[in-house]
Amino acid sequence: MNDNSLLKIAVIGLGYVGLPLSNMFLEKGHTVYGIDIDAKKINCLLKHQSYLSDFSNEDIKKMFLMGDFHPGSSFEAINKADAVIICVPTPLDKHAKPDLTFVRAALRNSSPFIKSGQIIVLESSTYPGTTEEEIVPYLQSTGFNVGKNLFVAYSPERINPGEKQKISTIPKVVGGVTKACTDLAKTVYESIFDEVVVVSSPKVAELTKILENYQRFVNISVMNQLLMLCDEMDINLWEVISAASTKPYGFTPYYPGPGIGGHCIPVDPLYLLWKAKEYNIDLDFITFAHKVNEQMPEFILRKIEKELKKPINESHIFAIGVTYKKDVNDLRESMALRVIEKLINAGANVVFHDPFISEIKLGTSIMKSKSLASSELTQADCTLILTDHSCLPYESIVQESSLVIDTRNSTQNLKGYRNIVLI
């Protein structure tokens, strides 16, 4: 493989990481074999339909027009590839421990088709040591000599769903098992990224990803805990953060909310917490941040009851937004869902609206998104803003609601309304 060659790339997992990555390779003229065991995703792609909020149907159509794109559910295409990039989910299990089921399945399904000279790169967020403790032993057990006739590296994804920043401008961290592995991974990623940051090992690359989210997890949890104090002291924490942000050095703003969601920030630090126990190290900051995060839905319930001055089980709540962050259709680890579920369990009558989500499933119940019609808003005792989607008409929402409880500061520019409560 030389620096100027067009590559054949197999991308395993066509979700929030794999599909944008596939698009980047196609834009540079490479061939992409997109593999996903979810037949619905493959059918959508073949019909030129998008299932991600960051991609329009037209974007999907362009992927086929501009390049050699071959989405499918078969792993056989791996035999044609120069590089295999694994972008599958790495959730937590019910005991908050790492669940590598999808990574192991990807390896197992790929194994019959992996050939000498390929590079295998893991992009899924995981604990430091995964690449060398899981990927390498498995591949060597099938007869390959990693670093000699097969190459392995780790490169953490840094995709931020809902943001418009061009992904190719975000520096790409790469750490290979050997120097040869690193050099080959660097060559692959330099073909689509402006800058590739080489680190000394897969462990360093793996921990880099976790550190980025560890920092955010702890600092957002600090703000969420401070929010509880500010609520008791009748202090607007959003105003405090705004004032503190005027300091030109030493302060980075983080913001409170209904709890931290998404696949990375509330999950990655718990991977590290699990791994640290092997070394008898207690990462107390992660433990405490997780505890604070878990308290937020209950805090919001208490706040609603306090502001309504009546029991939750006598209340009609209109929830606005159910995704974990604004401008995406991603429900993974969404604390908004946890808040709604708690409200329902407490006896509240709850309906919701989300421009990106048509329905949600809570237990065995299916809830459909309601319109933002005046009648829906005026019937509610409280309009609860849980996700601050940019496209929502906040002024009309406030005008039609008797009470608005805003957990995202989305109504900050609406002055003179007495029915807004910021938390």
The pLDDT assigned to 4 comes to 53
Of 305, 234, 228, nearest in space to 259 by CA: 228
- Euclidean distance between CA atoms 17 and 40, whole angstroms: 17
Q: Out of 44, 87, 264, 382, pick the active-site residue.
A: 264
In whole angstroms, what separates CA 83 from the centre of its chain? Answer: 24
- Euclidean distance between CA atoms 33 and 76, whole angstroms: 10
**Whether the predicted pLDDT of 185 surpasses 80:** yes
Tell me the pTM.
0.93
Is the Cβ–Cβ distance between 276 and 241 less than 8 Å? no
**Whether the predicted pLDDT of 385 surpasses 90:** yes
Is the Cβ–Cβ distance between 79 and 107 less than 8 Å? no
Residue 175 phi/psi, 5-degree rounding, is -140, 120
- Euclidean distance between CA atoms 297 and 303, whole angstroms: 10
Location of structure tokens 């696949």? 263
- In whole numbers, what is the pLDDT of the chain averaged over residues? 96
**Whether the predicted pLDDT of 149 surpasses 50:** yes
Is 264 an annotated catalytic residue?
Answer: yes
Under the banding of pLDDT at 50, 70 and 90, the label for residue 3 is very low
Q: Tokens at residue 401, please? A: 């609601």
Sketch out the chain's domains with CATH numbers: 8-200 (3.40.50.720), 235-422 (3.40.50.720)
The pLDDT assigned to 2 comes to 47
- Euclidean distance between CA atoms 57 and 400, whole angstroms: 34
Identify the residue with better confidence: 1 or 175: 175
The pLDDT assigned to 327 comes to 96
Under the banding of pLDDT at 50, 70 and 90, the label for residue 1 is low
Is the Cβ–Cβ distance between 139 and 113 less than 8 Å? no
Span 75-89, mean pLDDT?
A: 98
- Euclidean distance between CA atoms 404 and 382, whole angstroms: 6
Length of the chain in terms of residues written: 423
Span 282-295, mean pLDDT?
A: 96
pLDDT tens digits, residue range 315-347?
999 999 999 999 999 999 999 999 999 999 999
- Euclidean distance between CA atoms 236 and 364, whole angstroms: 38
Under the banding of pLDDT at 50, 70 and 90, the label for residue 163 is confident
Of 234, 163, 155, 210, nearest in space to 188 by CA: 155
The pLDDT assigned to 165 comes to 85
pLDDT tens digits, residue range 10-45?
999 999 999 999 999 999 999 999 999 999 999 999
